[in-house]
Structure 1
Amino acid sequence: MTTNLNTDLENDHILHELALIIPAHNEENDLPKTLQSISKQTVKPGLVVVVADNCSDRTVEIAKAFNVTVVETIDNKHKKAGALNYGWNMVNDYEYVATLDADTILEEEDFIEKLLAQLKSDPNVAGIMPRYTVQHSNLLERMQMLEFASTTLELLRRGCHTHTLGGQFSLFRNEILKEIKLSYGVWSHDSVVEDMELTVRLWKRGYRCAVSSDTRAAAGGMFTLMGLWSQRRKWEEGILRILFENKIEKFLYLPYLRTVSSVFDLWMRFILLSMCFVNFNYIWLWLITIITSIDYKAIYKAPDIENRWKNMLLSTCFFEFYTFHILCVKLVSLFRIIERKTDDLWKKQHIAEKSKSKSLPVAYCVLVLLLMLVFASVITIPALILQVSVVVLVIRFIYRLTRSDSGYMP
C-alpha cells in the first residue's frame, strides 16, 4: 500500500533530483528522531520513502504522521536488502538515491547539502557516506562509539575511501546503481552485509566510494551484550565470506588488515596465558597488551569531546573485555564458515535486540578462554617469540600515536 501526502518536508528548498529510502522494521521508537533530523535539513529530498518491512508496531502510523511516502512490503523474505530493493524500484527516475537506517540521526542541518555537493564534485565517485558515530547512553554503547571513531579516523587517513558504504546513511549516483543492478534490484539477497557487497561491486567496476570528512550521522548502537554479539556475528560472517570470495584487492585492505590484527591480538593473549603458566610474574605483560591495543589518539578525538578524559579512562579499564568479546565473535564466525553452516543472522539479531540475556556471549567467551587456557597449559612458548610479539605490539602502539591525521576528526 502506498500513501502519497503533501509533507512537512516540502518547502522552497527541495532537491527534486534526490530520493531517500528508509527501510524500517518495528522502528516506532527511533523513527521519529530520524524523520525530525530530515525535516531540519537546509535542503530536503524530493521524495522520502519509508519502507515498512513486516512491521507489527506503530511504524506505519508514525511515518504517515510525518506525511512521507509509506510503503508496506508484502511477503518480503529478504530482510533489509529486500526492503531496500522494494524502495529503490520506486525511485528509478531520480538522479541521486540515498539510504538511511530508521535509527540514524543526521547531525548537521546542512548534512544533505554538503554530502550531495561532495558527490557532484567528482564524477568517478559512485557513492559517499558520512562519518559515523554511535548514540550512547550506557557503557557498552560508549565502547561502540569509541570503536567507530577509530575505524572512521583510519578511513579518513587512507584518502577518505571506504570498502563499505554503510547502510546507516549512504548517497549514490542512481545511473551507476542501474549499471550494476542485479535482476531483482541493487542490494544482494545473498549477503548479510548487503552494503559491503554493493560497495565491492562498485569498486570492481572502477568507481570510487568515498567518506565525507565534514558530515556525521549518529547511528543506534547495541545496548545489550546479546544484541552486540548477534549484530557482530552478522557483520563478521558477512565480511569474512566476502574476503574469501574475492582476491586480495587494494580497496579491501582495511578488513584484511583488521582480520590479521585480530588474529595477532588473540595470539598475543594466548602467549601471555602460556607464559603465566610458566611464571605468574609475567602477568604484568597483560597491562602492556591492554594499553598498546587501544587507539588512544582516536579516542581522544572521538565526537564526545567533553568527556574525552573519561573515555580514555574507561577504555583503559574496560576495552580489554570489549575487545575480547569482539575477538570471540570473529573466531566463532570463522568456525561457522569453515563448518559451512548458514544461519538466519538477521532473525537472530532481531530476537537478540529484544533480549536482556547475557548467557550466549558470556558462554562463548568463557569457552574460548578455557580453550586458550588448556592449550596454554600444555604448550611452552619460546621466550624469543614472546619478545618479538611484544616488540610488534609496541611498534603498533607507537605508529598509532605518531601517524598523521591531517587534521581529521572522527
Structure 2
Amino acid sequence: MKPRIVAFIPAHNEEKSIRDCLCGLADQTLPKDIELDVIVIADNCTDQTEEIAKQTGEEFKLNLTVLTTKNNKLRKVGALNTAWKYVYGDVLDLYDQKLTPYQQFYKKSVKAILGMDADSRLAPKALLHLWEGLRSSRNIGGVMAKYTMRMPKKKSLIPKDDVNYEELIASGEYGGPIARWWTHQQKQDMASWLLNLQYHGGSTYVLGGQATLFRPEALQDVVDENRLDGPWQNDSDVEDMLLTWQLQKSKWKTLISPKARCFVDSMRSYHTFRQQRNKWKSGTVELLTNSDLEVKTRHKGKLWREQIKTFMELIIRVLFVTLLVTALAIDQFYWSWIWIIPIVLASVLNTILALKTPMHRPIDVILAGLLISPEIYLWVNLITFGQVWLDKLSAHKKDGWANQYNAESGKTSSKLIQGIIMFFLLIVIGVFACLHFRDYLTSNSVQMSVYPYLMTGWVILTFLTIIASLIMLYQIWTLRGRHTA
C-alpha cells in the first residue's frame, strides 16, 4: 500500500463551497509515490453538501469518502474526530472492535493528515510545499499554509437583466464596494500577522484549521498524553489553537510554510466579522487565563504583549479624544508639530503593509497611507477587544461558534446603524452644549481648575505615544525583510 496523505474536511451545510474546495485538491501536484485520500464529514447537514461532494469526487476521480454525522453536539471538533476514528479506530467503542488487517495497513500508510475547511481552496502545489515542510525535520508536528482572503468580484460585472442575477449575488462570489474594502482590511491584517511570524523564524502559536498538514504521530501523542478519543477538543472556541499548544507541549514544532498558499473566505459584513473575531479573541483570552486546561505555548509572552499593546492602543485613543474635546471646550488646545511623528510612522507602516498584501489594489494603498482604512479597522478591533474582556469578567459564557454561525446565516443582525446614529447624536449634543455654555467653560476659574488635570493627561498620552511610535519603528524595521505574505 502506497504512502498517503488523508484530508479531513468537516462540512456543515457547505453546498455552495464544497465543490470549489475539492476542485482545489484535484489540482494539487502530489509528492512522488504519494496518494491522496479525501474524507468529507457531512456534519448535521440539511442541504446538498453530501451529494455535491460525491458528484465532485466522481467527476475529478478523487479517492473520496463521505462520512455523515447526526446529532453531533461538538460541531467542527466532533466532525474532525469522526474522521480520526474512521482511520484510527474508536477507543470508546463499547465492543472493543479491532481494526481489520486492511485497516491496520491503511493506518500505517497514512504519513500526513490535512485538516481543511470546506470553504477554503489550496493554491496549486500548496500540498507539495506543505509536505516538504513537514518532512524536512523529524520534530515538526504541523505546517500551516499562508492564508489570503478571496476578494469578492464586483457586482457591476453582472448585467442587471441577467436572469441569474439573484442567484449569482446569493452565491457570495460578488460584493459591493464596502464588502470589497472590508475584505482587503482582513487581508492586510492577515498579511501583517504572517509577516511577523516569518520574521521571527516561522514558528506559530496557532495552526489554522483552514489548511494545516499534521504528522499523525504528533496527533497521536496529543490523544495519548491527554487521554482523548480524538486530537481535537471542545474545551475552547479556538480548537485549532488549543491543539497547537498541546503539540508544543509534546515537544513538536508548529510552523508556517513560506510557500504554500490557501485562499479562504472573508467576513463580508461588520456583524459577521465582529462575531468571528469575538470567538477568536475570547478563545485566546480563555487559553491564556484558564489554568484548568494545563496547556501553554512558547508564544505565551508574545500573546500577552499583544493584549497589552491593544489595551494601550485603546487607552491612547480614548485619552486623546477626551483630552482634545476638553481642551477645545475650555479653549486650552495648543498644536505641536511633534504630534506629526506618530502619524507619519503609522502612514509609512500601513503603506508598506498594504503593498506587501497579496493582490492589493491602488485604492487600498492610498487609503492605508491616509490612515482612513487602518483607523476604522482598528476601532472595530478595539471594540471587540473591550467586549471580550468584559465578557471574560462576566459570569455568563457565550457560545462563540453559535454566535458566529447565526451571524453568517443571517439569524442575527448588528446594531451598527443605531451605534453610528447615537455617535453623531452625541457629537451634536456635545457641540451644542459647548457653544451654549462657552462663556462659563472658558472662564478663568474653570480653566485654572481643569488645567492641572489636562496637563497630566497630555503627559501620560505623550509617554504612551512614544512607546507606540517605537513599536511602529520596530515593525517597519522587521518589514525590510524579503518575506512575503
Give per-residue Cα distances to partners, 1:259-294, cap 9 Å, x unaligned.
111101101101211221232357996994696285
* Aligned residue in 2 for 1:258: 306
Displacement of 1:251 in angstroms is 2.3
Displacement of 1:71 in angstroms is 0.8
Q: Name whichever of 205-214 and 317-326 sits farther off.
A: 317-326
**SS at the partner of 2:46?**
coil
Aligned partner (choices 209, 214, 221) of residue 266 of structure 2: 221
Paired residues of 2:310 and 2:382 also in contact (CA < 8 A): yes
**2:194 aligned with 1:119:** no
The 3 A distance-change label for structure 1 pair 147 and 256 is same
Give per-residue Cα distances to partners, 1:356-376, cap 9 Å, x unaligned.
9763356678999999x99xx
**2:141 aligned with 1:99:** no
Give per-residue Cα distances to partners, 1:342-396, cap 9 Å, x unaligned.
122211111101229763356678999999x99xx99744332122122222222
Paired residues of 2:345 and 2:469 also in contact (CA < 8 A): no
**SS at the partner of 1:91?**
helix
The 3 A distance-change label for structure 1 pair 248 and 24 is closer
**2:467 aligned with 1:392:** yes
Paired residues of 2:28 and 2:126 also in contact (CA < 8 A): yes
> 1:274 and 1:260 mapped to 2: Cα distance?
21
* Aligned residue in 2 for 1:56: 46
> 1:369 and 1:215 mapped to 2: Cα distance?
45
Give per-residue Cα distances to partners, 1:136-158, cap 9 Å, x unaligned.
22111111011000000001011
What is the alpha-carbon root mean square deviation over aligned residues?
3.0
Scaled by the length of structure 1, the TM-score of the pair is 0.87
> 1:320 and 1:244 mapped to 2: Cα distance?
29
The 3 A distance-change label for structure 1 pair 399 and 183 is closer
* Aligned residue in 1 for 2:363: 310
Question: Which amino acid is 2:353 matched to?
Answer: A
Paired residues of 1:128 and 1:210 also in contact (CA < 8 A): yes
Paired residues of 1:226 and 1:356 also in contact (CA < 8 A): no
Paired residues of 2:144 and 2:213 also in contact (CA < 8 A): yes
> 1:59 and 1:290 mapped to 2: Cα distance?
50
Displacement of 1:170 in angstroms is 0.6
Displacement of 1:220 in angstroms is 0.9
**2:177 aligned with 1:161:** no
The 3 A distance-change label for structure 1 pair 110 and 248 is closer
Question: Which amino acid is 1:335 matched to?
Answer: L
**SS at the partner of 2:39?**
strand
> 2:145 and 2:215 mapped to 1: Cα distance?
15
Q: Name whichever of 49-58 and 194-203 sits farther off.
A: 49-58
Paired residues of 2:407 and 2:413 also in contact (CA < 8 A): no
* Aligned residue in 2 for 1:267: 315
**SS at the partner of 1:46?**
strand
* Aligned residue in 1 for 2:276: 231
The 3 A distance-change label for structure 1 pair 356 and 370 is farther
> 1:245 and 1:394 mapped to 2: Cα distance?
32
> 2:10 and 2:192 mapped to 1: Cα distance?
27
Question: Which amino acid is 2:242 matched to?
Answer: E
Question: Which amino acid is 1:262 matched to?
Answer: T
Question: Which amino acid is 1:303 matched to?
Answer: P
Displacement of 1:62 in angstroms is 0.8
Q: How many residues align?
A: 391
**2:358 aligned with 1:343:** no
Displacement of 1:297 in angstroms is 2.5
Scaled by the length of structure 2, the TM-score of the pair is 0.74
Paired residues of 1:19 and 1:91 also in contact (CA < 8 A): no
**SS at the partner of 1:87?**
helix
**SS at the partner of 1:131?**
strand
**SS at the partner of 1:333?**
helix
> 2:318 and 2:462 mapped to 1: Cα distance?
14
> 1:405 and 1:259 mapped to 2: Cα distance?
25
Alignment of structure 1 residues 136-175 onto 2, 5 Å: 136-137=151-152, 138-175=180-217
The 3 A distance-change label for structure 1 pair 248 and 100 is closer
Displacement of 1:183 in angstroms is 2.3
